[in-house]
A = this chain, B = another copy of it.
Amino acid sequence: MALIVQKYGGTSVGNPERIKNVAKRVAKWKAQGHQIVVVVSAMSGETNRLIALAKEIQAQPDPRELDVIVSTGEQVTIGLLAMALKDAGIDAKSYTGGQVRILTDSSFTKARIIEIDEHNMRADLEAGRVVIVAGFQGVDEHGNITTLGRGGSDTTGVALAAALKADECQIYTDVDGVYTTDPRIVPEARKLDRITFEEMLEMASMGSKVLQIRSVEFAGKYKVKLRVLSSFEDAGEGTLITFEEDEEMEKAVISGIAFNRDEAKIKITGVPDKPGIAYQILGPVADSNVDVDVIIQNTGEDGTTDFSFTVHRNDYAKTLKILEGVQSHIGAKSVSGDDKIAKVSAVGIGMRSHVGVASTMFRTLAEEGINIQMISTSEIKISVIIDEKYLELAVRVLHKAFGLDQPV
């Protein structure tokens, strides 16, 4: 007998029929003797409907009151799922975030979980009940309703699994697992049976929209076994995201090719090369709440340096303007940018113990005539910035070059 936390997203509970299907799936696990906690999102479209309603009243909705409104989406789903289970003869009880007491800080619309009271859930589980918890929400120390921000139901699932020391946290979604890359670009992309948290973090941050990144961090921190699987198909074990590097995983050098087309590049040339110059450039950018991703700096021969970095494409115009403002102050020769770029990354925990990943990557791209504009590396990832128009080609050739289209 295991204690399993299952999380079902908005599409999986999108209408009464689908809610009944979730109940059937839960019933099956329950029949195998497991204790089940189910975390649900709002029915798909519901959160957007509620936000739109709020915006009809107030263009910039008051965050506290927005959370009061938006949290009702999940509250409806927990009631419906509890009914569906009871209708199938399975005892179940619903909990709002406040009823569990998922204590968060008071950062409305993007609260962080501080503590979870597992006492009531535990009593229900021991009485043989399925516990159903509203995802995405909590309550602060004053009893105000809070929400965890978009995708926060994943975080709720992982946090509950951690609090209850669950054997596994299963994230049901509309894909059947994590793939070596986006199958829409590379039809040969393979589903991964296992992936490590570190790899998943790199994949997630690159736009593999399977899991909310915060929930992965959380799972890694509390050593919660995460499994991503489809709520629509019955076959398959999905992808297990583990904190152990087992032997099997050592075999694959690269686990996947991630990419991101949401970035833009800024370049400052002819900056006097003296201490503190990076801060003088990036300080004003950070002060404007712009996140910077890849940063590279090349020192030239003439005592000046060229400095490049990438930001989210939405922040491109704003960042250019900031730098044009500081250009004369820091004595730079030019400020320019390009918002037609893309980032492609090879991710794999195996690259720690293997050489030659970088050279394979660079050679493969060169053979296709794809120019590399920037390079950034971490222990388990190599990213390159290239012209956006080559993105699909780059993903395809790298996927093949690292043998990801071959069965393991």
Q: Contact residues of A with B, CB < 8 Å?
A: 16, 19-20, 50, 53-54, 56-58, 61-62, 64-66, 68-69, 71-72, 75-76, 78-80, 82-84, 86-87, 93-94, 96, 98-99, 143-145
Complex contacts, A78 vs chain B, CB 8 Å = 65, 68
* A79 contact set on B, CB distance < 8 A: 54, 65-66, 68-69
Question: What residue of chain B has the Cβ atom nearest to residue A19's Cβ?
Answer: B57
Question: Using Cβ atoms and an 8 Å threshold, which residues of chain B touch A86?
Answer: 58, 62, 65
Query: Closest residue to A132 on the B side, CB-wise?
Result: B65
Chain copies in complex: 2
Q: Are A57 and B20 in contact (CB under 8 A)?
A: yes
Residues of chain B within 8 A of A84, CB atoms compared: 57-58
Which residue from B53, B61, B83, B143 sits with its C-beta under 8 Å from A62? Answer: B83
Q: Does B57 contact A87, Cβ atoms closer than 8 Å?
A: yes
Of the A-B pairs whose beta carbons lie under 8 Å apart in the complex, a sample of 9, sorted by A's number, is A54-B79, A58-B83, A61-B83, A62-B82, A65-B78, A65-B80, A65-B83, A65-B86, A68-B96
- A98 contact set on B, CB distance < 8 A: 98
Q: Are B80 and A69 in contact (CB under 8 A)?
A: yes
Q: Which residues of B lie under 8 Å from residue A80 when comparing CB positions?
A: 53-54, 57, 65, 69
The CA-CA distance from A98 to B143 in the complex, in Å, is 9
Q: Which chain B residues lie closer than 8 Å to A94 at the CB level?
A: 64-65, 68
Check B57–A143 contact: CB distance below 8 A. no
**Nearest residue, chain B, Cβ from A144:** B99
Inter-chain CA distance A56–B19, complex, in Å, is: 10
Interchain CB contact under 8 A, B61 and A69: no
In the complex, residue of chain B having the shortest beta-carbon distance to the beta carbon of A120: B143
A82 to B62, CA, bound (A): 9
Partner of A143, one of B53, B68, B72, B99: B99
Contacts of A65 on B, CB cut-off 8 Å? 78-80, 82-83, 86, 94
Closest beta carbon of chain B to A139's beta carbon, Å:
9
**CB contact under 8 A between A76 and B87, given known A65-B82, A82-B65:** no
Residues of B within 8 A of A50 (CB): 76
Q: How far is it, in angstroms, between the C-alpha of A56 and the C-alpha of B13 when the chains are bound?
A: 13
Contact of A69 among B56, B64, B76, B144 (CB under 8 A): B76
What is the bound-complex CA distance between A72 and B99, given in angstroms? 15
Which of A50, A53, A57 counts the most B-chain CB atoms under 10 A from its CB?
A: A57
Asked if residues B69 and A53 are in contact (CB atoms below 8 Å), the reply is no
Is the beta-carbon distance between B82 and A16 smaller than 8 angstroms? no
Tell me the minimal C-beta distance from A144 to chain B in angstroms.
Answer: 8
The smallest C-beta distance from A124 to any residue of chain B, in angstroms, reads: 12
Nearest CB on B from A199, distance (A): 39
- Which of B16, B75, B93, B96 has a CB less than 8 Å from the CB of A56? B16
> Given A83-B62, A98-B98, does the pair A68, B75 have CB atoms closer than 8 Å?
yes
Are the CB atoms of A53 and B76 closer together than 8 Å? yes
Q: Point out which of A65, A66, A144, A145 has the most chain B C-beta atoms below 10 A from its C-beta.
A: A65
Q: Which of chain B's residues have a CB closer than 8 A to the CB of A69?
A: 75-76, 79-80
